[in-house]
Structure 1
């Protein structure tokens, strides 16, 4: 380790990409991920922290490591679930500690064609020391939340994704309370200002880096109702990238092209889409969140100088969408997502900086920030609705098991009196297959749904607890407002 590595760096460059590395399903998987490694290595200046999602195989991870090891000598591939978690973290600095936090709510085994439950989604956690001082620690949280299969609020998995956002928010808040630099990154499968997004930005001191620099950027695809309400003009593909930070469904991504364009590409034609085309589907699903310990993150002005200070912290310098190049031979995009890349710069508070008054801080020392009570009621209603659904599913599946068991016993008895052997064979075959299906349904209803219901109870308690705190805070605020009003009326 060099002397420069021991000293805290002036900047930290962060990179996040969903690689679309589904084994057997993603086209040109190995070729694309190998080229992703080449392109990460070619970034100038090079990234210091890299978070990868949908990097499912050790083979692809090692291919990327081989290409980037000279700039990112430390890395961790995370194992989870039946087929892995698809998460990896690469770092310029040593990874002191690492863990994989599985989400308690994560899909259903019956939706095997979607796979979220089987892959064991969660949060890849890594603790990185980038300097000699005790506080020179970054805690990295890389994740891939449950995919939306319908538009909100009709998404049947919105309860899962909301609970997952709540879980990663707790992990990031804990790291911030330890005074560490917190970096949360990944494919969050949410649009800006959605419920999951608001949970993360409210229940942690972390902020979405894109909205720090582009506060008026889109909050969904141009065709989505939530964005149409803003009555903004239809964005071009270039505008979607540069201003809205769209990383998914871009008109410039070859994997989102129509069938005709893809066939031309497969024939070897170098099809080019002009950046001025309209882009109604592009949206932002990939994020980098960060906070610098107890201090609210900010964006550093280009003209801002760094004053002498007693307390140093980190600020956002810039953020951009990257990895838009195509494979040099296949001419396809390197993934069905683009990357999001941010540069954090060491900033400082002046020596006379004063923290907020203690009355505005919670017991952890952070400025108290809670969602409106109505939002907690919305989440509780969502949990109640989903819990009722799961109870119905449990009863139906257990009833199916009981019915199939009774039919199997009836068939076993019936074969004693059937006159022909082939009839006995059909009865045994049907009863065996039916009982097998019933046993599977019984196990899902009795074990999996039971586990899910217990996870829902935990989530319900935490939301109710946060709601009670929000109610108490609102009551305190109303009381203080009333005192101020009375004082004014009394001439104080």
Structure 2
């Protein structure tokens, strides 16, 4: 048993019998998101009014300290512990709130994380990563929850043409390692956030295969959608066109819902702007809605090798899409996403984890070999792209440098000050643009290529272990 935490309170000294979790993308981009202040203040109000009240909340796209403080002010009476995570140039937008003390926290940036040249997308500048909090729910080692809140790189094109699929795959791999490590420590593991992936996609399969966590929605709704109704992967299932209510209650759709005002057409938005409380029937067809927001958890199932027994401590009770209520006076949705929420309940039996020491051995699980080959092919394709980009950027720097020198030489020969000024201006701009491209090609791309090498090694190493396991099974089966 661990000694009492210095943060321990009377409430946290009594281990909980259940945990209510909420994950929500707030769409709180400063200067960009419409009605940001009003919406995020109301988000705090509605989290506070939730029934049942959440015990652990993970927020994404809560970019400013001002918005964080506004939400904290509304919720601190039942979520007294909170952390706003700092990352990148503009901040990662990640927040974790808790009913119980946060003993430790960290912010781990993803090695592959977008490109600075895509400044209009911003993924690289916000330093996307994993916000981590170690939450003390009670006095013993089994009364710890390790919470991982993240926001993976956004898809800007449809797969397989998404040029950032390698980034998102690598990010899923990274958070999987962190959650698996937490599970091996024998703690309750909660992974939540906007993963920007659809169910059963490559990133989704990596998370559920290489760590013991499970997607709460697919536990309760194993036949739920694996994409928007208009997507090819979903059309191949030959299921009827869902309506908006079905997408919320059965498919767990949190994004692009027909009920979300930020996805409405221009005419409806204009009516809202005039103060009209426009209503959409929940029976309307909903071809665009999909699930991008997730809660994963590891049940705290531990294997005691000395006794040959396993105990399962946490189980899933319910999961739902929430935060669908609109602003009470503006009539707009609170975000361009809805929340995903879940309740975990605890076994009343004393788990073996309380009497056993050391890390827990997790069973080895692997993806099909061809899936690792697919990941390696994606890495190779992106590696070739970046090497070409590096050559082009360094070549562009060389060209701009030569142009700068040429302009400086030309100044000596021009007859007028006006022409000399034009040449000097071109020289300065050329050198600036060239230096920026040179830095991207020489520093950023080189750094990204090294991160790709690390990712490739890990995938090849895991593939090798998967092959070795297959060989052992063949020998054991006598084939």
TM-score (norm 2): 0.94
Q: 1:123–1:142: 8 Å Cα contact kept in structure 2?
A: yes
Residue matched to 1:116: 123
| Structure 1 counterpart of 2:452 | 456
- Pick the aligned partner of 1:253 from 256, 260, 267: 260
2: CA distance, partners of 1:133 / 1:310: 19
Aligned equivalent of 2:468, options 461, 468, 472: 472
1:324 matches 2:324: yes
Q: Distance in 2 between matches of 1:351 and 1:31?
A: 46
Shift of 1:312: 5.4
Gaps of 5+ in 2: 1-7, 304-308, 354-358
SS class of match (1:5): coil
SS in 2 for 1:210: helix
Contact 1:310–1:350 (8 Å) recurs in 2: no
Corresponding position of 1:162: 169
**In structure 2, C-alpha distance between the alignment counterparts of 1:418 and 1:118, rounded to whole Å:** 42
1:435, CA displacement in angstroms? 1.2
2:368 — aligned with what? 372
Residue 438 (structure 1) aligned with residue 438 (structure 2): no
Candidates 295, 300, 312, aligned match of 1:293: 300
Shift of 1:292: 2.5
Alpha carbons 1:264, 1:271 under 8 Å: kept: yes
Residues 294, 366 of structure 1: 8 Å contact kept: no
> Does the aligned pair in 2 maintain the 1:162–1:196 contact within 8 Å?
yes
* Whole-angstrom CA distance in 1 between matches of 2:115 and 2:381: 16
Q: Map 1:310-459; keep pairs closer than 5 Å.
A: 311=311, 313-347=313-347, 365-459=361-455
Q: How does 1:38-437 map to 2 (within 5 A)?
A: 38-295=45-302, 311=311, 313-347=313-347, 365-437=361-433
Q: Determine if contact 1:311/1:348 at 8 Å carries over to the other structure.
A: no
Cα distance between partner residues in 1 of 2:316 and 2:66: 34
Q: Distance in 1 between matches of 2:389 and 2:364?
A: 40
Within the alignment, does 1:32 sit opposite 2:39 as a pair? yes
Q: Distance in 1 between matches of 2:146 and 2:475?
A: 39
Q: CA RMSD in A?
A: 1.8
Cα distance between partner residues in 2 of 1:290 and 1:310: 18
In 2 relative to 1, CA 310–372 (structure 1 residues): closer, same or farther, beyond 3 Å?
Answer: closer
Query: What is the Cα deviation at residue 311 of structure 1?
Result: 4.2
SS at match of 1:135: helix
Residue by residue over 1:306-358, the C-alpha shift from the partner in whole angstroms, topping out at 9 and shown as x without a partner, is xxx994500000000000000001000011100000000002679999xxxxx
What is the deviation of 1:414? 2.0
Tell me the alpha carbon deviations over residues 187-245 of structure 1, each in whole angstroms, 9 at most, x when there is no partner. Answer: 00000000000000000000000000000000000000000000000000000000000
1:472 Cα deviation from its structure 2 partner: 0.6
CA distance in structure 2 between the aligned counterparts of 1:236 and 1:400, rounded to whole angstroms: 52
Determine if contact 1:324/1:333 at 8 Å carries over to the other structure. Answer: yes
**Contact 2:302–2:360 at 8 Å: present in 1 too?**
no
Partner of 2:70, secondary structure, is: helix
Q: Is the 8 A contact 2:20 2:341 kept in 1?
A: yes
Equivalent residue number for residue 4 of structure 2: none
2:313·2:346 contact (CA, 8 Å) conserved in 1? Answer: yes
Paired residue secondary structure (1:173)? helix
CA distance in 2, matches of 1:179, 1:369: 18
SS of the residue aligned with 2:197? coil
Q: Distance in 2 between matches of 1:468 and 1:348?
A: 41
Q: 209-218 or 1-10, which moves further after superposition? A: 1-10
Give CA-to-partner distance per residue, 1:79-124, whole Å, 9 cap, x none. Answer: 0000000000000000000000000111000100000000110000
Partners of 1:255 and 1:332 within 8 A in 2: yes
Task: Count residues with an aligned counterpart.
Answer: 462
Give the deviation of 1:409 after TM superposition. Answer: 1.2
